[in-house]
Amino acid sequence: DAGVTQSPTHLIKTRGQHVTLRCSPISGHKSVSWYQQVLGQGPQFIFQYYEKEERGRGNFPDRFSARQFPNYSSELNVNALLLGDSALYLCASSRYSGTGIWEQFFGPGTRLTVL
């Protein structure tokens, strides 16, 4: 089975621009989560989508938005980019294995650099 795929691998943008990052989950997984990882820190939760509905949102401004499509792939959009948005953006494909466990499988990430 193919793992979680993300595109693009790397991206360079300038302040004020917007960006769209894409994620395709593992086949059969209906949930996708997005995380931001700034250099030297652990990942921070941004969003989770399940069955095309937003299920949770982390402490990020409204400049960050996401959606999930009928095929369960997902896009993360960031508007009005700031230098501080430079980070590795990770997508995780999830399945619920029962008794309170969400198994999350991470993609390779998209490295966003804002100049």
Residues near other proteins (CB under 8 A) are: 4, 31, 33, 35, 39-45, 48, 50, 55-56, 58, 88, 90, 92, 94, 100-109, 111
Nearer to other proteins, 78 or 109 (CB): 109
Q: C-beta of 71: minimal distance to other proteins in Å?
A: 20
Q: What is the DSSP string of the chain?
A: ----EEE-SEEEE-TT--EEEEEEPPTT--EEEEEEE-TTS--EEEEEEETTEEEEE-S--TTEEEEE-TTS-EEEEE-S--GGG-EEEEEEEEEEEETTEEEEEE---EEEEE-
Nearer to other proteins, 37 or 79 (CB): 37
Q: C-beta of 31: minimal distance to other proteins in Å?
A: 7
Q: C-beta of 16: minimal distance to other proteins in Å?
A: 26
